[in-house]
Amino acid sequence: MLTKRIIPCLDIKNGRTVKGVNFLDLRDAGDPIELAKFYSENGAEELVFLDISATEERRKTLAELVLKVAETIDIPFTVGGGISSVEDVEILLNNGADKVSVNSSAVKNPQLINELASKFGSQCVVVAIDAKQIDGNWKVHLVGGKVPTDLDLFEWAKEVELRGAGEILFTSMDHDGTKNGFANEALAKLSTELNIPIIASGGAGTIQHFTDTFIEGKADAALAASVFHFKEITINNLKKELKTQEIPVRL
């Protein structure tokens, strides 16, 4: 059985790591380079770097900061925010990213997924999907969750897989920052209906939440931010506890 991955997420705004609740009320969480180094040395399988305001501000990802982070760590590194072309991805990969995450640009131009998978390989392409429940249905949102669409989470996820994405990073906007647990019902449906890895995001508050998302949500990886940034949970302690629950992790 494949080991489950624990992935800290650095949400970047104005060169600093930030964290909010339901995508709002951002507060400072520290220097991204220092945090990246700490996670790389303390048990993280991967690191995700999201330039959360790049799309809204209509600019490119902070490539220079990506380079500095990449020089600091020795674990796989996924970068997202403001990516809309093959050229954008080439710059980030040249600056040390191992994978890229596309979100709003993929919805606006789904063919971009095909182009990136063809050029760089599916293993390099992560499609991030931010969604929230509206009238009982999961609807995809764009531009850091600010722009709702009529796109159904599950239909979009299936299309993303068909177009060549290597994995999906699903963030429940309803759960984000609440520390009440992941959206396990939706995650389980995604994991059942798709054949590519699903990364759970939004809602981590306790070690039990990670256990639940791996067992009930059938997630392949779990991403979290504030519980790691503010030392509420350490990755090493989390992994030891998951091991006692017979969840396969790399210690």
Q: Is 7 helix (H, G, I), strand (E, B) or coil?
A: strand
Catalytic residue among 28, 51, 74, 130: 130
Pinpoint the alpha helices (H) of 109-183. 111-120, 153-162
Give the distance between the most distant pair of CA atoms in the chain.
46
Catalytic residue among 11, 88, 212, 220: 11
Q: Is 16 helix (H, G, I), strand (E, B) or coil?
A: strand
Query: For this structure, is 11 an active site residue?
Result: yes
Q: Could you give the angle at which helices 86-94 and 63-72 cross, rounded to 10 degrees?
A: 40
Distance from C-alpha of 117 to C-alpha of 241, rounded to nearest angstrom: 36
Distance from C-alpha of 4 to C-alpha of 66, rounded to nearest angstrom: 25
Query: For this structure, is 130 an active site residue?
Result: yes
**Which of 225-229's residues contact partners 24+ apart within 8 Å by CB, and which partners?**
225/8, 225/9, 225/10, 225/11, 225/19, 225/29, 226/19, 226/29, 226/177, 226/179, 227/179, 228/8, 228/39, 229/8, 229/17, 229/19, 229/29, 229/30, 229/35
Residue 126 pairs in a beta bridge with 101, 167
Which residues are annotated as catalytic?
11, 130
